[in-house]
Amino acid sequence: MSYRCLTLAVLILTGLSLHRPAIAAEPAPKPSIAVADLAWIAGDWEGLVNGESIEERWFPPAGGAMVGMFRWMKGDQVVVYELLSIEPGAEGPILWLRHFGPKLVGREGKDGAIPFYLLRSSPTEVVFDNRDPAKPIRLGYTRNGDRGLAATLERMKDGKWVAEAFPYTRR
């Protein structure tokens, strides 16, 4: 086969592949839950971790989102504040978290909030994952009857998930 014939064949085949009709992308799967399904987290919660006071307050869903705040006190000193929101995402609700120290000094930087994506849910439990392979973290909430809520923070340590529990009772 001559060089001209080979070039012509490549051009024809390339042209055919460029003019194929576009295949429509399948629509993204619908999220299994909506933010409104997490209304059971709403409330004014308090607890103790190693004798230190923890408080978490979640507002009921409104405008398609939930807003929460967290405060950890060691005696009369602030350990950390957090501002949280749960907002809709393409794969399900996303929990956004931002840490603050005293005087509301942000720990994640000027534009930084940490996204946690829906990992699993049930009517009384939801778990979010930050999807960071370098520093994997999961944050979950479990409802314990009418007066109890537990937040669980899981971190990867030596290849295993290590959990820290934050038990709350309703005020």
Q: Which H or E run contains 55?
A: strand 52-58
Summary mean pLDDT of the chain = 86
Q: By CB neighbour count within 10 A (0-12 exposed, 13-18 middle, 19+ buried), where does 3 fall?
A: exposed
> Does the structure show a pLDDT above 70 at 60?
yes
Comparison of pLDDT for 14 and 75, the residue scoring more: 75
Q: What residue spans define the domains of the chain?
A: 31-170
Query: What whole-number percentage of the chain has pLDDT above 90?
Result: 73
Q: Is 14 exposed, middle or buried (0-12, 13-18, 19+ CB in 10 A)?
A: exposed
- Average pLDDT, integer, range 69-80: 93
Q: What is the pLDDT of residue 23?
A: 52
pLDDT tens digits, 93-119: 999 999 998 888 888 876 789 999 999
Does residue 61 have a pLDDT over 50? yes
64 has pLDDT over 60: yes
Give one DSSP letter per residue of 103-153, joined into a string: GG-BSS-TT--EEEEEEEEETTEEEEE---TTS-EEEEEEEETTTEEEEEE
pLDDT digits 0-9 by tens, 135-145? 999 999 999 99
Tens digits of per-residue pLDDT, 27-50? Answer: 555 678 999 999 999 999 999 999
Q: Return the CATH number of 31-170, one of 3.40.50.720, 2.130.10.10, 3.40.50.150, 2.40.128.20.
A: 2.40.128.20
The reported pLDDT for the residue numbered 105 is 81
Dihedral sign for Cα atoms in the order 155, 48, 61, 126 = positive
- Give the pLDDT mean for 9-30: 47
Distance CA 80, CA 95 (A): 18
